[in-house]
Amino acid sequence: MFRQDPQPELEAVLRRYGDEYLEYETERHLEYRAISLLSLEEAGLRPEDAGRADGAPRSILEVGCATGALLSSFHEAGWRAQGVEVGPSMAGYARERFGLDVETATIESATYEIGSFNAVVATHLIEHLNDPRSFLARARAALRPEGRLYLITPNADGLQARLMGSRWRSAIRDHLFLFSARTLGAMLADEGYYVEYVGTWGGWPAGMRPVSLKRPMDRLAKRYGLGDVMVVRASQATVPTPLEVR
């Protein structure tokens, strides 16, 4: 695990996600949604699986939901969907553009119902946080007993990170922590989770020569867990429990 030192103050971190960040997000949020949906499906979470065995809608909380583009896919499929987003402009956009229930808050200050979600999702969030352990603890408290946590985050042990070093595209000031599957798994275990699935994707950096290596290296990186980005599914139990969300 890599930790940015010195760590910025929380207030400085929160200020980063204002109007300019909304503009950055909306440029490609539908493209990012498509990529995230593919990754989450690989980990067992799909919008179309909206109904529980008892007929009630499944529930999902997305932390750091940005514009709400990803969360809207679950909302439109029939999930009981809620979001948490620290950026007032982005939270407002999610409410107005997609009609979502999104609270402008951190996960620590949000007022969602504890123990009520089948899935908690955070895509490209945990690496931005001053206190990832606090986030994991709060996410675990939000889950139903059979619920799952789904994380998408850069893979610090991936091929691109190894090749590029300090020039790796995820080695930026906004990322306060960077994890490998091993270090993230250890932190999840410390916080009372059981890691059920880890998948990675993305190998050879786009545009890097020889360009002909990209496709075969991407396939190899995925096969051997050396992709640039990883998706993790974890239960809140210390031993495996039946998979509720699939």
Q: Is residue 96 part of a domain?
A: yes
pLDDT at 130: 95
pLDDT at 142: 97
pLDDT at 237: 67
pLDDT at 55: 81
Q: Is residue 211 part of a domain?
A: no
Contacts of 110 (CB under 8 A, 6+ apart): 84, 103
pLDDT at 137: 97
Q: What is the Cα gyration radius of the chain?
A: 17
pLDDT at 5: 86
Q: Is residue 88 part of a domain?
A: yes
pTM: 0.93
pLDDT at 238: 54
Given a cut of 50, the residues of the chain with pLDDT beneath it are 239, 241-246
Closest CA to 188 of 116, 236, 125: 236
Q: Is residue 222 part of a domain?
A: no
Give the number of domains in the chain.
1
pLDDT at 242: 47
Q: Is residue 137 part of a domain?
A: yes
pLDDT at 59: 98
* CATH number of residue 116's parent domain: 3.40.50.150
Q: Is residue 9 part of a domain?
A: yes
Q: Is residue 27 part of a domain?
A: yes
Distance CA 239, CA 172 (A): 36
Residue-range definition of the domain harbouring residue 41: 2-154+173-201+228-235
Distance CA 231, CA 237 (A): 19
Q: Is residue 212 part of a domain?
A: no
* DSSP-derived 3-state class of residue 155: strand
pLDDT at 245: 37
